[in-house]
């Protein structure tokens, strides 16, 4: 209910008063390549001039194989050599492997999401980690980078941070890639991501045409100003990226976004079944917002069970997955957060 | 410091560098050299990547080098995995670890507040392995015009090694090929493999002395196209090692006799190619360079492993440049074809780097010079 009220507060006035932005113009002014920001000294100077603190958050679940390398590269390049980032933190969803131990060994702070704001409960999902990071981390800007990147490089952070340092009007920066997926012994080139091209881009084309300018709306790497992150709700599961785009767009328009080409990102491939679950979560988030914004009429109560099929011993069997796309309210609504960050 | 060394290891070690395709890794290495404060980063005519850490006086030059090339498949995409205590990846011990240490050297010395009088020239040498035959190092020594006072060959593993001398080496290929007019009826249609087998058996029977130590290492064999076709060609790659140049020549002559005899009796074509000859030599164990390095090992709690190596020092020895091989950390290798996966331990790296700093200080202070 709170989500509907929260969204309703923002729908008509913002949409009417905001002048439309030409997507092509936005693409020219707000789309970057990481190589434009390779001079890290400039970024450090800009950060110091603006008296900003920067946090790097790595949400993780059973990522012991890649987390150490990722932390080492970020710490070396963005803390030891160029003091661009003030803290690197892993927010863990309850890994059963040595993710936290490895993260600490290589110099990151590691927190269990369950231990952050325990009074709000413990829910499982990447969005939960991202949301709790807003409370736990101190940065004026938070960079979120997934933990499963095999070809890690400092550009995955500074490429996202730079537009926020250099363009005051930008509030949220998304990554996009030439994304090869690791398959057996080689790599193959995919398009913009299967769920993006089959689900999200068609939905945005129908309801939020300007948002189609975001080349990879589901990319797991982005950076944002605290003032934005603390004021938007967070779906705890697959819908978090989609929700961010819609909510920020509704409030600040396309001008608040930028995107950076980070070249290749090599990561694990996901099965079609896993992508089905992701799509189901995203669709729930999208429909909630479309309904609250009166973009679609009332629709019947929706099932939260995804039904997929598998074959076992030559017989088909249905696999049911309960996927309830719950949302966390804007962090500003949490008293402990307001106290900690002196928001009145 | 740990994060800087390991980040350099990732940056350099994840760029493929198969023999004759080392340009990408050299480019990345130079980028890291430059980022970490080394000067005059450039490539030479051979393709080596090099840079200079200028000394306060700059009258002497110390060469620090390691091979860039690996035995990896041309299409391999090396990826390193970080575990709690070790880093795992293809050819990380041979020799990405050494390249990463070289790139990190300026920051290491700065943090230790060490300013050397001598220039340090760091070099990632290309085309060193196999048929490369130390081409990168030889090319640098023959063409750079820089007088080198001391040479240090860095190896990722094993910490404690102290190679002060080189065995003599012959790197050889024997190719057995069926001639176009091969008479299948007369010779029983046995193909190239049987003849090669005969050659290997006879080489294996060559008596080799324990002193001077002489060995033959059969490294690689290839031939044929499938299990049902008689092989038309087979190639054996092997190495003869000896402490004696004279014995090397004798063994080479015996192998040549064997190949000619097999060719004459079987009707196949046999080509015996010695593509690299390296003379034995090196420093005397009593040389101050060796003694000082052993003392540094002892001070760091390491037991020096003194033995003759088969690699790297040859070119320096020929130029009368005192040179040693040092290892940087402990590690293991698993031959997991098609890639050789290696692991290097993290913790011992710091002793390895302290050892390097100590040896550089000893050279710079004149403690390694012969009185």
Looking at B278, B309, B340, which one is the last position of a domain? B278
pLDDT of residue A184: 43
Q: How many domains does chain B have?
A: 2
Closest in A65, A66, A80 to B4, CB measured? A80
Q: Which residues pair with A312 in a beta bridge?
A: A315
Residues of A with CB under 8 A from a CB of B: 64-69, 72-73, 75-77, 79-81, 98, 101-102, 105-107, 150-153, 186-187, 266
Range from A191-205, B97-111, B157-171 carrying the lowest mean pLDDT: A191-205
B142 and B24 share one domain:
yes
Smallest CA–CA distance from B37 into chain A, residue: A81
CB B103 within 8 Å of CB B33? yes
- CATH code, domain with B208: 3.30.70.360
pLDDT at B74: 67
Give the model's pLDDT for residue A246. Answer: 95
Same domain flag for B302 and B260: no
ipTM, interface predicted TM-score of the complex: 0.73
B78: closest chain A residue by CA: A151
Residue B293 shares a structural domain with residue B272? no
Paired strand residues for A320: A307
pLDDT > 70: what percent of chain B? 95
Does some domain include residue B371? no
Instruction: Examine residue B147 and state whether it is found in any structural domain, yes or no.
Output: yes
Q: What percent of chain B has pLDDT over 90?
A: 51
Same domain, B161 and B295: yes
Mark whether B343 and B260 lie in a shared domain: no
Distance of alpha carbon B284 from alpha carbon B368, whole angstroms: 13
Q: How far is B269 from chain A (nearest CA, A)?
A: 38
- Under the banding of pLDDT at 50, 70 and 90, the label for residue B76 is confident
User: Per-residue pLDDT tens for B228-266?
Assistant: 788 889 999 999 999 899 999 999 999 999 999 999 988
Q: B154 and B143 in one domain?
A: yes
Pair (B10, B81) in one structural domain:
yes
Instruction: Look at residue A16 and tell me whether its pLDDT is greater than 60.
Output: no
Write phi, then psi, for B346 (nearest 5 degrees). Answer: -80, -50
Name the band, by pLDDT with cuts 50, 70 and 90, for residue A181.
Answer: very low
* Superfamily of domain A2-272+328-340, CATH level 4: Spore Coat Polysaccharide Biosynthesis Protein SpsA; Chain A (3.90.550.10)
Range in B32-36, B72-76, B281-285, B302-306 the model is least confident about: B72-76
Enumerate the residues of chain A whose CB falls inside 8 A of the CB of residue B80: 69
- The answer for A328, left when phi > 0, alpha when psi is -120 to 50, beta otherwise, is beta
- Of B236, B262, B278, the last residue of a domain is B278
- CB contact under 8 Å between A77 and B7, yes or no, is yes
Which residue range forms the structural domain that includes residue B45?
2-166+280-364
Write the pLDDT tens digit of every residue in A98-138: 899 999 999 999 999 999 999 999 888 889 999 999 999 99
- Half-sphere CA count of B83, side-chain side, radius 13 A: 9
Least confident of A72-86, A191-205, A252-266: A191-205
Handedness of CA A293, A298, A301, A303 (dihedral sign): negative
Q: How many CA atoms lie within 13 A of B367 on its CB side?
A: 15
Contacts of A105 in chain B (CB under 8 A): 84
- Per-residue model confidence as pLDDT tens digits over A231-244: 999 999 889 999 99
User: How far is it, in rounded angstroms, from Cα A67 to Cα A267?
Assistant: 13
Task: Verify that B159 and B293 share a domain, yes or no.
Answer: yes
Partner-chain contact B82 A69, CB within 8 Å: yes
The domain ranges of chain A are 2-272+328-340
Q: Identify which of B7, B80, B81 has the shortest CB distance to residue A76.
A: B7
Least CB–CB distance from B3: residue in A67, A76, A152: A76
Please give, rounded to a whole number of angstroms, the shortest distance from the CA of A78 to a CA of chain B: 11
CATH value at residue B294: 3.40.630.10
Is B369 contained in some domain? no
Per-residue pLDDT, averaged over A32-57, amounts to 95
Q: Chains A, B: CB contacts under 8 A, how many?
A: 57
DSSP structure class, residue B18: B
- Decide which of B257, B278, B299 is a domain's last residue: B278
Inter-chain CB proximity A65 and B81 less than 8 Å: yes
**Residues B3, A69: C-beta atoms closer than 8 Å:** no
Q: What is the pTM of this model?
A: 0.79
Banded model confidence at residue B278, pLDDT cuts 50, 70, 90: confident
For residues B294 and B356, membership in a common domain is answered with yes
Q: Are residues B137 and B254 in the same domain?
A: no
Query: Are B126 and B10 in the same domain?
Result: yes
Please indicate, yes or no, whether residues B250 and B204 belong to a single structural domain of this protein.
Answer: yes
> Cβ contacts of residue B335 below 8 Å, gap of 6+?
none
- Inter-chain CB proximity B82 and A101 less than 8 Å: no
The answer to whether B198 and B157 have CB atoms below 8 angstroms apart is no
pLDDT tens string A296-326: 888 888 888 888 888 888 888 888 888 887 8
DSSP string computed for B250-277: HHHHHHHHHHHHHHHHH--EEEEEEEEE
């Amino acid at each position: 209910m709170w989500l509907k009220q929260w969204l309703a507060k923002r729908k008509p006035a913002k949409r009417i008063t905001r002048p439309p932005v030409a997507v092509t113009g936005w693409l020219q002014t707000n789309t970057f390549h990481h190589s434009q920001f390779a001079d890290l000294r400039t970024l450090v100077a800009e950060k110091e001039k603006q008296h900003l603190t920067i946090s790097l958050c790595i949400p993780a679940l059973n990522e012991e194989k890649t987390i150490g390398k990722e932390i080492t590269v970020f710490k070396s390049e963005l803390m030891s050599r160029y003091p661009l980032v003030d803290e690197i933190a892993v927010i863990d969803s309850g890994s059963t492997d040595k993710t936290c131990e490895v993260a600490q060994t290589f110099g990151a702070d590691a927190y269990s999401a369950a231990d952050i704001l325990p009074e709000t409960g413990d829910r499982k999902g990447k969005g939960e980690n991202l949301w709790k990071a807003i409370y736990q981390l101190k940065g004026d800007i938070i960079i979120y980078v997934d933990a499963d990147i095999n070809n890690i490089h400092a550009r995955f952070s500074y490429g996202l941070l730079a537009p926020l340092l250099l363009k005051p009007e930008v509030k949220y920066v998304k990554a996009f890639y030439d994304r090869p997926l690791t398959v057996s012994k080689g790599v193959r080139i995919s398009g913009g991501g299967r769920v993006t091209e089959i689900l999200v881009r068609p939905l945005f084309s129908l309801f939020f045409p300007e948002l189609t300018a975001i080349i990879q709306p589901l990319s797991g790497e982005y950076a944002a100003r605290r003032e934005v992150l603390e004021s938007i709700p967070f779906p705890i599961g697959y819908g978090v990226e989609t929700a961010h785009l819609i909510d920020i767009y509704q409030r600040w328009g396309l001008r608040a976004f930028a995107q950076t080409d980070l070249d290749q990102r090599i990561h694990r491939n996901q099965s079609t079944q896993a992508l089905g679950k992701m799509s189901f979560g995203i669709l729930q988030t999208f429909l909630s917002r479309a309904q609250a914004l009166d973009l679609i009429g009332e629709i019947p109560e929706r099932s939260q069970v995804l039904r997929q099929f598998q074959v076992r011993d030559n017989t088909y069997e249905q696999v049911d997955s309960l996927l309830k796309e719950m949302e966390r309210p804007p962090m500003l609504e949490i008293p402990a957060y307001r106290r900690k960050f002196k928001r009145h | 410091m740990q994060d800087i060394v390991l980040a350099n290891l990732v940056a350099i070690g994840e760029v493929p560098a198969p023999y004759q395709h080392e340009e990408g890794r050299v480019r990345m290495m130079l980028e890291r050299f430059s980022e970490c404060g080394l000067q005059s980063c450039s490539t030479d005519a051979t393709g080596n990547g090099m840079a200079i850490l200028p000394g306060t006086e700059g009258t002497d030059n110390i060469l620090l080098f390691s091979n860039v090339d690996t035995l990896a498949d041309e299409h391999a995409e090396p990826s390193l995995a970080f575990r709690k205590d070790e880093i795992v990846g293809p050819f990380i011990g041979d020799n990405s670890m050494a390249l990463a240490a070289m790139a990190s050297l300026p920051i290491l010395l700065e943090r230790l507040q060490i300013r050397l009088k001598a220039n340090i020239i760091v070099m990632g040498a290309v085309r060193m392995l196999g048929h490369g035959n130390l081409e990168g190092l030889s090319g640098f020594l023959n063409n750079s015009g820089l007088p080198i006072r001391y040479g240090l060959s860095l190896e990722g593993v094993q910490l404690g090694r102290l190679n002060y001398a080189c065995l003599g080496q012959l790197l050889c290929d024997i190719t057995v090929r069926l001639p176009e007019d091969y008479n299948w009826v007369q010779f029983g249609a046995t193909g190239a493999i049987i003849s090669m087998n005969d050659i290997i058996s006879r080489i294996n029977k060559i008596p080799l002395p324990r002193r001077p130590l002489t060995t033959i290492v059969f490294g690689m064999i290839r031939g044929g196209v499938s299990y049902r076709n008689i092989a038309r060609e087979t190639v054996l790659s092997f190495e003869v090692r000896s402490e004696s140049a004279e014995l090397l020549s004798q063994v080479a002559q015996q192998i040549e006799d064997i190949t000619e005899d097999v060719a004459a009796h079987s009707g196949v074509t046999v080509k015996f190619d010695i593509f690299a000859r390296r003379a034995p030599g090196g420093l005397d164990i009593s040389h101050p360079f060796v003694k000082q390095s052993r003392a540094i090992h002892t001070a760091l709690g390491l037991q020096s492993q003194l033995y003759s190596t088969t690699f790297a020092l040859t070119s320096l020895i020929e130029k009368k440049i005192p040179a040693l091989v040092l290892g940087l950390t402990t590690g293991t290798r698993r031959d997991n074809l098609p890639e050789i996966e290696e692991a290097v331990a993290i913790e011992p790296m710091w002793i390895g780097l302290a050892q390097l700093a100590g040896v550089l200080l000893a050279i710079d202070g004149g403690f390694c010079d012969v009185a």
